[in-house]
């Protein structure tokens, strides 16, 4: 290109340039950034794949464009975490509320938890590998708040089983912690040891009934 030429340079990352958002469409780019980061994590199996450059390359934009929506690479990963937790919470809540019987709701909610972890191993793993962001004015970061909401669904459901005379638990919170620990172990061990002769996933039901002190 000759000096003074106004011919535009080729896209920096070797991809067609992404069309510029019209006024008021900035939120769309933010969503695309989160989707791109999620895709990178799913493909690589780790949040280490996320960098400003890799996300920009995935979308077809210049890396500095990201700063209008995220202050850092860690902020992007945190957004991926928040989205994954929100989806997990939504799946659990939908499974629980689909049943009037509290025991069936508890079983369905726990099954939904394990199903998410098994079907979305990379997204599930990033929930527990990503350091929490700085807390907001409430003292809890957004992801932690969302995670606690998902856990409260489990606690509340176990309380409902106790109230209905279907559980002999005298400490639903402690028993819910034990149950969550077991569910997480189920997901993590299956991901870490895929060749182990695991029994059918209906063992989750046996685990829930035992740890929830459920009577059927």
Q: Which of 117-121, 146-150, 162-166, 182-186 has the lowest mean pLDDT?
A: 146-150
Does the structure show a pLDDT above 60 at 143? no
- Asked whether residue 4 is domain-assigned, the answer is no
Residue 1 lies in a domain: no
Instruction: Give the chain's mean pLDDT.
Output: 84
87 and 120 share one domain:
yes
Q: Which domain holds residue 56?
A: 12-70
User: Does 21 reside within a domain?
Assistant: yes
Tell me what the mean pLDDT of segment 132-141 comes to.
Answer: 50
Assess whether 56 and 94 both reside in one domain. no
Give the global pTM. Answer: 0.79
What is the SS3 string spanning the chain? CCCCCCCCCCCCCCCCCCCCCCCCCHHHHHHHHHHHHHHHHHHHCCHHHCCHHHHHHHHCCCHHHHHHCCCCHHHHHHHHHHHHHHHHHHHHHHHHHCCCCHHHHHHHHHHHHHHHHHHCHHHHHHHHHCCCCCCCCCCCCHHHHHHHHHHHHHHHHHHHHHHCCCECCCCHHHHHHHHHHHHHHHHHHHHHCCCCCCCCCCHHHHHHHHHCCECC
Domain boundary among 70, 88, 120: 70
Q: Write out pLDDT tens, residues 1-36.
A: 444 444 433 344 344 444 555 555 568 999 999 999
């Amino acid at each position: 290109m000759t000096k003074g030429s106004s011919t535009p340079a080729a896209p920096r990352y070797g991809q067609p340039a992404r069309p510029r958002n019209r006024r008021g469409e900035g939120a769309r780019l933010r969503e695309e950034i989160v989707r791109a980061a999620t895709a990178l994590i799913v493909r690589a199996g780790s949040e280490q794949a996320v960098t400003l450059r890799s996300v920009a390359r995935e979308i077809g934009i210049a890396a500095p464009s990201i700063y209008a929506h995220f202050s850092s690479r860690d902020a992007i990963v945190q957004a991926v975490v928040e989205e994954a937790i929100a989806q997990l919470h939504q799946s659990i809540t939908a499974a629980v509320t689909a049943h009037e019987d509290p025991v069936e709701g508890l079983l369905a909610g726990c099954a939904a938890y394990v199903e998410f972890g098994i079907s979305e191993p990379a997204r599930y793993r990033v929930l527990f590998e990503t350091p929490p962001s700085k807390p907001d004015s409430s003292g809890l970061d957004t992801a932690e708040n969302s995670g606690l909401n998902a856990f409260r669904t489990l606690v509340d459901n176990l309380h409902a089983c106790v109230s209905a005379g279907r559980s002999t638990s005298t400490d639903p919170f402690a028993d819910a912690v034990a149950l969550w620990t077991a569910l997480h172990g189920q997901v993590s061990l299956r991901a870490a040891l895929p060749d182990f002769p695991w029994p059918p996933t209906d063992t989750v039901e046996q685990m829930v009934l035992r740890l929830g002190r459920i009577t059927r």
